[in-house]
Amino acid sequence: MSEDRPAPGTMRPRGRTERVRAAVLAATRAELEAHGYAELSMERVAEIAGVAKSTVYRRWRDPVGLLVELIADLSSSEVPLLDTGSIEVDLRGLAVGIHRFYSDPVWRPAMLGLISAAVLDPRAAQALADFFRTRNDLAAESVRHAIERGDLPPDTDPVQVIRSVGAPFYYRMLVSHEPIDETVAEQAAAAAIAAAKAGAYPVRPDQKG
Amino acid sequence: MSEDRPAPGTMRPRGRTERVRAAVLAATRAELEAHGYAELSMERVAEIAGVAKSTVYRRWRDPVGLLVELIADLSSSEVPLLDTGSIEVDLRGLAVGIHRFYSDPVWRPAMLGLISAAVLDPRAAQALADFFRTRNDLAAESVRHAIERGDLPPDTDPVQVIRSVGAPFYYRMLVSHEPIDETVAEQAAAAAIAAAKAGAYPVRPDQKG
DNA sequence: GTTCAAAGGAGACCTGAGTAGCGTTAGACT
DNA sequence: AGTCTAACGCTACTCAGGTCTCCTTTGAAC
């Protein structure tokens, strides 16, 4: 029950430990790219990384642990954020960026695998919650500017607008299993803007103040 | 490789076979309600249903097979569809219905489990695709009527409007893991209507004619 | 009511992901 | 340079999920 962390100041984040980490995460990416999340086995990752499987189990516990660290590493970078002065351009760019992200042979299985696992695994759910809170807050910046410019109603919830750009992609990928193309991205951005301009994303009372 | 189906006209969908089916599906529902999808084991379902585990494995293969049949049975009923003459009322009702559906202690784990599994399992993906194609087409009827009444632009894609009502729920449940309440339902409906009225859901060129 | 095989029951068996225990290596600190 | 121990490597072992086999029951057809 107690903290099983070693005595403070005695961790070893460098040298071999770091090399192992890098090798394992690289192997994870390689496996995701080659065979997808379905065949992401701890044993195989260990083999490709050239480390003992007990090491992989100790540090990452299961494939979800690998995905969590992979996504945490991602955090920023990837899916670039725009802030051009035109909310239309910014959101369309965001939508296209999401589409590109999910066309990537590593990130697609990584993220979908994490989402799938998160239905049952609280660690995965937490990793996703953290990731999207951070991401969406960053992306919301251009919406805030649009509000300041008067391009969107003053009471608009910026994060809500961002969410509504992403939602259609996940609906199609995860739920209805319908194909995605650039047109979906265009419509996602267009719908978000139209709804936002109509004042459909007001800041909720409990979020105010 | 050949069809392993028995000689046609010699199946036995009644009597014991049907009793076993009913018992297993009932046990599945009971287990989902009691322990969620995480602990939906074939062995336990067999035990509760009072049948041999080999039987459950033979007919349903794995927990996904159980969910697929459960959802296929659902098909209609549940989540009632409105067609009141007011698109606002209809879509708000739909959103509230979705919220209710995912508050149900059986349907929530069943559907989320199926969605989770569908990331890797083609059977689950197919079951979801079928389910939502059917459902969304039925739900789109009230949108078609709204278009006929002139309440929405004539070029609106009805199914697209329906999708956009559901999408926010799945985004929050699966992706960002943010809570859902009645306000989310209200906003989902309001945003869909606003975007639709603004003409943001046009029928796509490749769908026409 | 007899025949026949589809479907179910029972239990032994298999299998590989995950664990446990212990020896070895090599950063961190002095 | 020497000490200490976190972290890694190795391998035997466990065990629950899933399979296989053979026997029994029972619905369907005549």
What secondary structure does DSSP assign to A108-159, as a single string?
Answer: HHHHHHHHHHHTT-HHHHHHHHHHHHHHHHHHHHHHHHHHHHTSS-TTB-HH
Of A97-106, B24-33, B72-81, B175-184, the range with the lowest mean pLDDT is B72-81
Q: From the list A113, A195, A204, which residue is nearest B195 (CB)?
A: A195
Under a CB-based contact definition with an 8 Å cutoff, are residues A97 and A79 in contact? yes
Distance of CA B6 to the CA centre of its chain: 31
Average pLDDT, stretch B94-114? 97
Beta bridge partners of A156: A202
Q: How far is CA B44 from the centre of its chain?
A: 25
Query: Residue A206 pLDDT more than 80?
Result: no
B177:A125 CB<8 A: yes
User: What are B34-67's pLDDT values in tens digits?
Assistant: 999 999 999 999 999 999 999 999 999 999 999 9
Cβ pair A30, A45 in contact under 8 A? no
Residue B28 has pLDDT above 80, yes or no: yes
The separation between CA B168 and the C-alpha centre of its own chain, rounded to angstroms, equals 15
pLDDT on residue B5 = 35
pTM of the complete model: 0.93
How much of chain A, in percent, has pLDDT values that exceed 70?
A: 91
Nucleotides of D under 7 A from a protein CB: 5-11, 17-21, 26-29
Give per-residue pLDDT as tens, A139-152.
999 999 999 999 99
pLDDT at residue B15 in the model? 78
Please count the residue pairs, one from chain A and one from chain B, whose beta carbons lie less than 8 angstroms apart. 132
Helix (H) or strand (E) holding A39: none
Q: List the single residue in A117, A120, A176 with the smallest CB-CB distance to B37.
A: A120
Find the chain B residues whose C-beta atoms sit closer than 8 A to any C-beta of A.
37-38, 112-113, 115-120, 125-126, 128-129, 132-133, 136, 160, 163-164, 166-168, 170-172, 174-178, 183, 187, 190-195, 197-201, 204
Q: Specify the pLDDT at position B14.
A: 74
Over 60: is that where the pLDDT of A2 sits? no
- Cβ-based contacts of A107 with chain B (< 8 Å): none
Residue with nearest Cα to nucleotide D8 C1': A55
- Residue A144: Cβ within 10 Å count: 15
pLDDT tens digits for A7-40? 444 565 677 899 999 999 999 999 999 999 999 9
DSSP B102-139: TTSTTHHHHHHHHHHHHTT-HHHHHHHHHHHHHHHHHH
Residue B8: pLDDT band (50, 70, 90) is very low
Residue B30 CB neighbours (<10 A): 14
Q: Is A177 left (phi over 0), alpha (psi -120 to 50) or beta?
A: left
| pLDDT tens digits, B130-181 | 999 999 999 999 999 999 999 999 999 999 999 999 999 999 999 999 999 9
**Inter-chain residue contact B177 with A201, CB threshold 8 Å:** no
The phi and psi torsions of A59 (rounded to 5 degrees) equal -85, -30
Q: What is the pLDDT of residues A113-167, one digit of tens each?
A: 999 999 999 999 999 999 999 999 999 999 999 999 999 999 999 999 999 999 9
Confidence of residue B3 (pLDDT cuts 50, 70, 90): very low
Closest CA to B79 of B154, B173, B157, B185: B185
The one-letter code for the residue type at B150 is: G
B5 vs B1, B9, B19, B126, B127, CA distance in Å? 11, 11, 21, 20, 21
**pLDDT averaged over chain A?**
91
Percent of chain A with pLDDT over 90: 85
Pick the residue from chain A with its C-alpha nearest to B166: A171
Q: Are B167 and A168 in contact (CB under 8 A)?
A: yes
Does the nearest atom of strand D lie within 7 Å of A6's Cβ? yes
Using the Cα atoms of residue B52, residue B56, residue B62 and residue B63 in order, give the sign of their dihedral.
negative
